[in-house]
Structure 1
Amino acid sequence: MMWVSRRTALLGGLGALFAVGARAQASGQTSGQGADHWYDLKDRDGAPLPNMRLPVELTSEIERLPGMFWMGAAQPDVTIIEVYDYNCPWCHATARDLHALMADADDVRVGFMNNPILSPASAQAAKVEMALLRTMGPQVAYDFYRAMFSRKGRADGAAALAAARVVMDGRRSETTEGKKNGATFANVQRAADDEKTVQALQAQMKLAASLGMSATPSFITGGVGIQGYPGPKTLGRIIAAMRDCEEPVCKG
């Protein structure tokens, strides 16, 4: 599709994407009602945190999922995946928690999976993230993720493109690697709107739906799906338990 302006940008394929998101939400709500609580997990307010065992044939697809990026340890003891939407209010706090967690722990790897089920505008932002990943790599995609969750207001294509420009300029000025990267802002715009990006986002949303991830943020670790914002203390306890017994909660 031809790029016309920042307001009309990133609209290509969004009808199909949001249709996947609608199915994800409906499927996840059904799964969540039956799954309830496999482990005794509480959120930051002490309320039960919904969680469920996930089929290994589905969780095994995550490592091969296109458009995801990974941060943290290269040889981790613990891997956790966040499932998020750029218009999710609680995802702002989660972004801070995960960044602090990776700063304090050198054995944790975090995977980032988009599931823009809240609005088509969320899908626009997700597509910009994936374009940055393709053109400039995971560190820039992560810088964008942090920038988007540090800002206030609605996340849409225009906001995402503005954040991308700032992140790209900062990365080029700060690092030798960034200076060597020949990607331009126009490259990112084109990549955000091409079929490869649309298909990658559809794949992430489809898998999130199959896994019953109906809330954002959600998390996947140790073959368990955890729905909702746990807060930093519960998240830390989950990571500690994964280290000790390879489960989100150690028994006994």
Structure 2
Amino acid sequence: MPSLRYLASAFAIAMFAITLGGAPLPASAQSFSDVQRKDIETIVRDYLIAHPEVLEEAMAELTKRQSAAEAEKHQAGIAKHANAIFNSPRNVTVGNKDGDVTFVEFFDYNCGYCKRAMLDMMELMKGDPKLKVVLKEFPVLSAGSVEAAQVGVAVRMQDPTGKKYLDFHQKLLTGRGAADKARAMAVAKEVGLDMSRLDKDLASPEIRATLEENMKLAEAMGMNGTPSYVIGKQVVIGAVGVETLKEKIGIARCGKATC
């Protein structure tokens, strides 16, 4: 006969699964009478009160399984969309364009954390001459974010080298106030873009096509915020800091956090 600890653990995990996912009780549990079920619930309740660490174990196992499922989804998404993620002609590519590791960042010009992430990116490029960096507009925070991203795409369209785009990117992210079309256009003028061509390109279907491509990729990766990254076969969500990003780059490069 299974131990009481085993029954309590199984019951706790089942209760969490039901609560989180709406899973039905197994057939064996459904066969209990109301009196039997009440007795079991009382026994398990008393056991869990006496041994609350069982709940911690159940939650740890649940978190572990969820993390594994999420990582599997990320890897499958990267494998399916690798060409669009790393090599799309709509990408903005800076750093070493022939680098051995590609570092892809999805960002929003109104994301406060993206300002810090931008500094992390610049530090990584400075310290890692083999790093290829790809920037993808992912405007999810506001209408102003969409407007700024549209201008960003137009900047990319007339700057295939990415040099003026990177200047534009840094100035817009670090400027004061909310980013929108007016601010983005002012920054574009400041960095020396052809404003007549910029106005023309803003009406191009390429603007919408680029943002739609980025949105679909982010959805496929399970990204729900900015900044988000794809580094090798890894998806990283949030401004995790330069040291964590270095570790992810190391894993992509040589399979270890430090190569």
TM-score (norm: length of structure 2):
0.67
CA deviation string 1:167-223 (max 9, x = no partner): 11xxxxxxxxxxxxxx62111122123222122211211221122111100000122
Count of equivalent residues: 192
In 2, the alpha carbon distance for the partners of 1:117 and 1:74 equals 27
Deviations 1:76-101 (CA, angstroms, capped at 9, x unpaired): 12111001111111000011110111
What is the distance in 2 between the residues matched to 1:34 and 1:215?
A: 22
Note the C-alpha offset of 1:164: 0.5
- Match in the other structure for 1:53: 75
Q: Which runs of 5 or more residues in structure 1 are unaligned?
A: 1-32, 40-50, 169-182
Aligned structure 1 segments of 4 or more residues deviating by more than 4 angstroms: 33-36
Match of 2:236 in 1: 226
Identity %: 27
2:98 to 63, 75, 95: 75
**Counterpart in 1 of 2:125?**
102
1:190 and 2:228 correspond: no
Q: Deviations over 1:9-34 (max 9, x none)?
A: xxxxxxxxxxxxxxxxxxxxxxxx99
Counterpart-to-counterpart distance in 2, 1:122 and 1:85: 6
1:123 to 146, 149, 161: 146
SS at match of 1:75: coil
The one-letter amino acid of 1:111's match is: V
Q: Describe the shift of the 1:101–1:198 C-alpha distance in structure 2 as closer, same or farther (beyond 3 A).
A: same
Q: Aligned AA for 2:182?
A: A
RMSD across aligned C-alpha pairs, in angstroms? 2.5
| SS of equivalent to 1:159 | helix
Counterpart in the other structure of 1:150: 174
User: How many Å separate the matches in 1 of 2:243 and 2:100?
Assistant: 19
Shift of 1:158: 0.5
What is the Cα deviation at residue 37 of structure 1?
Answer: 3.2
1:214 to 224, 229, 233: 224
Query: Is residue 190 of structure 2 the alignment partner of residue 166 of structure 1?
Result: yes
One-letter amino acid of the structure 1 residue matched with residue 75 of structure 2? R
What corresponds to 1:16 in structure 2? Answer: none
Describe how 1:3-22 pairs up with structure 2 within 5 A.
Answer: none
Mapped to 2, the partners of 1:35 and 1:60 lie a distance apart of: 29
Q: 1:145 to 1:35 in 2, by over 3 A?
A: farther
Q: Distance in 2 between matches of 1:79 and 1:118?
A: 26
5+ long unaligned stretches in structure 2: 1-62
- C-alpha distance 113-38 of structure 1, shift in aligned 2 (>3 A): farther
Q: What amino acid does structure 2 have at the position aligned with 1:97?
A: D
With over 3 angstroms needed to count, the CA separation of the structure-2 counterparts of 1:210 and 1:230, relative to structure 1, is same
Counterpart Cα distance in 2 of 1:186 and 1:215: 33
Tell me, yes or no, if structure 1 residue 244 matches structure 2 residue 221: no
CA distance in 2, matches of 1:228, 1:204: 17
Classify 1:34/1:122 alpha carbon distance in 2 versus 1 (closer, same or farther; 3 Å): farther
Asked whether the equivalents of residues 74 and 221 of structure 2 are also in contact (C-alpha less than 8 Å), the reply is no
| 1:133 positional shift | 1.1
Larger proportion of helix: 2
Residue 173 of structure 1 is matched in structure 2 by: none
How far apart in 2 are the matches of 1:65 and 1:121? 25
